[in-house]
Structure 1
Amino acid sequence: MEDKKAYIITGPTSGIGYETALALAKYGTVILIGRNREKLEQVQKTIKDNGQNALSLVCDISDILSVKRAARQIVELNLRIGGLLNNAGVMLQKATKSAQGWDMTFATNYLGAFALTECLVPDLPDGANVVFIGSAIEDAERKPAKVMGMKGGRYISAEASAHGEWKAGGAKMPGIDAYATSKQCILAAAMAFARENPRLHFNVVEPGITRGTNLGGESTNAFVRFLFGYLMSIIPPFSTYSSTPKKSAKVITKVLTDESGKTGVYFDEKGQPMLGSELARDQKFQENVVAETRALLSKVKE
């Protein structure tokens, strides 16, 4: 038992995050990070009832100050961390604001994950894995995105994205540009991190079109939940990329616990390497996104 590691996961109370938390518990202590204390405690109890170990920390991943506090608490636990999974994500139709006054989708999906990673990296042991959850929606050339009229990531700058401003000519469906841009930034930043820091391993998983994720929560209307949560997983061409939370958890857990040293890889829903959009693959774009994000986050003072 002494050789078991600890694994950090954000957004572990439903969908892919919940199934991944249960799967990770077989490999060591799971550190559950989310906004809702009651739901976190329910997941923690389920894991403990299975004879495994979990800890929970209340943190609003969209709030950079909350993220910094959580990172300090994790470091103080003095556990040997095997991996960090930046899973928390939302797809909101209505633009709402985070604690810093930033676009909630961009703050939750990207800025919070970026900040948590940056805060923890110095204290992660050599060889630890950092995994981000991506989305092929960031690529306007991918067939399902084209069919749905999605236009991919609409990045202008980190500052513009934080203020809910996207490159003109985006998708007609509300919230898609924010979501796609946040995921494009995730992919770009992860690839830049992989080059910057060979001591650790940074990878991205595209979990596929997955039923039961409830990305939009209560703020998403019933039709959109049905469209993304069920219909797209069973009709062509979307069904080609279909998955379930349990299947996604299996792929994510494999990547997060892998000891082969893979880094800078974008994995698809079957755990195979895939390509992101041409822009997300551009090294200058990747480095620009990281530099702008660091500059933006540096403005947040405690």
Structure 2
Amino acid sequence: MTKMDTNRKAYIITGPTSGIGRITAFELAKHGTVVLVGRDRKKLDELQNSIVKKGQHAVSVVCDLQEIASVRCAAQEIIDLRLPIAGLLNNAGVMQMRATKNSLGWDTTFATNHLGPFALTEALAPYLPDGANVVFVASGVEDPNRKPAKAAGFRGGRYISAEASARGEWKPGGAKNPGLDAYATSKQAILAATLAFARENPRLRFNALEPGFTPNTGLARDANGFLKFLANYILPLFAPHIKYWSTPGRAGRLSAKVLTDESGRTGVYFDEKGHPMHPSMLVQDLKFQDRVVAETRALLASVHSK
């Protein structure tokens, strides 16, 4: 790191190499040094080089969010950079149609979308300066009463407990495809945690963002060829004209705007237009928020020595 790098504000973003994350990374680089956190070293290096060629600043940190050991190593690497971190954007996410497990036997979707971002945030929070922004990319599909989510086959988050979710178990009565339940539940849990963090830690600013339905983000990486073609080339043509839909460009610019916001707002859940929105009734319940945080901390502590 050069002297110039360490004197600039820095913004951390997970999942920066594709979709919304890639565009957000370029936007954040306009505001300071961007810390690129992702699984693929080659893709990270390519993105870092592209940012540097624009005369801006970036550094890469390899991290697999589904693996807690990797998250903790990455957090320490970021801390050791000694950058003036102004914001952390937990953007990375995955939605699997066919469930897989990580090395601990945990559901990959829940680990990637909730446990990993939770652990990364908890590890970095003590090192963030007063007033720093922490933003989690959430999703309206966690709300069982959200009409567009229901139309897409979602039945809301199906949270039982952190341990049950890690095992890939969801409340009955959910979607036909359990992959939708896994995704909705992971987003339900991280949204609840966001709101709890905002109450727990007034020193920092914790907010969440629903980026809108953005079909060509690479979120469903294991979809079949036809669905990938539909998502990448057909549905994006309609996105700008449909309520609740968005595009990677629009969502990326909004993500950067929320992360760099200096208004001091905290505990806000923003919609795809940047306006405050309400989460599901369950997520609004303070006892539920606190339970999710307590259970998640207990689950992560159980692998502390591994």
Output the CA distance in 1 between the equivalents of 2:106 and 2:302: 12
Match of 2:40 in 1: 36
**Contact between 1:233 and 1:239, CA under 8 Å: does it hold in 2?**
no
The aligned runs of 1:223-302 (5 Å cut-off) are 223-225=226-228, 239-300=242-303, 301-302=305-306
- How far residue 173 of structure 1 moved from its aligned partner, in angstroms, is 2.6
Structure 2 CA distance for aligned equivalents of residues 65 and 135 of structure 1 = 26
CA deviations 1:212-257 (Å, max 9, x no partner) are 201022x222344356556666669x92011111111111111101
SS of 2:113 mapped into structure 1: helix
Of 80, 84, 107, the match for 2:84: 80
Is the Cα contact below 8 Å between 1:192 and 1:290 reproduced in 2? yes
Q: Output the CA distance in 2 between the equivalents of 1:195 and 1:260.
A: 17
2:114 aligned partner, one-letter code:
Y
- Is the 8 Å Cα contact of residues 216 and 231 (structure 2) preserved in structure 1? no
Alignment of 1:194-233 (within 5 A): 194-217=198-221, 219-225=222-228
What amino acid sits opposite 2:290 in the alignment? E
**TM-score normalized by the length of structure 2:** 0.94
Q: Match for 1:96 among 90, 94, 100?
A: 100
Which residue of 1 is the match for residue 143 of structure 2? 139
Q: Which amino acid aligns with 1:12?
A: P
Instruction: Give distance in 2, aligned partners of 1:284 and 1:212.
Output: 36
1:155–1:166: 8 Å Cα contact kept in structure 2?
yes
Letter paired with 1:62: Q
- Alpha-carbon distance in 2 for matches of 1:82, 1:115: 19
Native 8 Å contact 1:209 1:228 kept in 2: no
CA deviations on 1:110-165 (whole Å, 9 max, x unpaired) are: 10000000000000000000000001110110111222232100000000000000
Which stretches of structure 1, 4 residues or longer, exceed 4 Å deviation after superposition?
A: 226-236
Letter of the 1:183 partner, please give it: K
Kindly report the root-mean-square deviation, in angstroms, between the aligned alpha carbons of the 2 structures: 1.7
TM-score w.r.t. length of structure 1:
0.95
What secondary structure is seen at the aligned counterpart in 2 of 1:209? coil
User: Which of 69, 74, 90 matches 1:70?
Assistant: 74
Preserved CA contact (<8 Å) 1:35 1:58? yes
Per the alignment, do residues 252 and 275 of structure 1 end up closer, same or farther by CA in structure 2, a change over 3 Å counting?
same
Q: Which runs of 5+ in 1 are unaligned?
A: none
Secondary structure of 2:116's aligned partner: helix
> How many Å separate the matches in 2 of 1:93 and 1:73?
33
Residues 1:231 and 1:182: Cα distance change in structure 2 (over 3 Å): farther
* 5+ residue gaps, structure 2: none
Structure 1 contact 62–111 (Cα < 8 Å) conserved: yes
Task: Write the distance in 1 (CA, Å) between the matches of 2:227 and 2:177.
Answer: 10
C-alpha displacement of 1:170: 0.5
Distance 2:120 2:68 in 1: 8
Moved more, 42-51 or 142-151: 142-151
Provide the rounded CA distance (Å) in 1 between the counterparts of 2:139 and 2:114.
12
Q: What secondary structure does 1:88 align onto?
A: coil
SS in 1 for 2:243: helix
Identity %: 62
Q: Contact conserved, 1:209 with 1:232, CA < 8 A, in 2?
A: no
Q: Cα 1:214–1:30, aligned 2, differ >3 Å: closer, same or farther?
A: same
Aligned partner of residue 134 in structure 2, secondary structure = strand
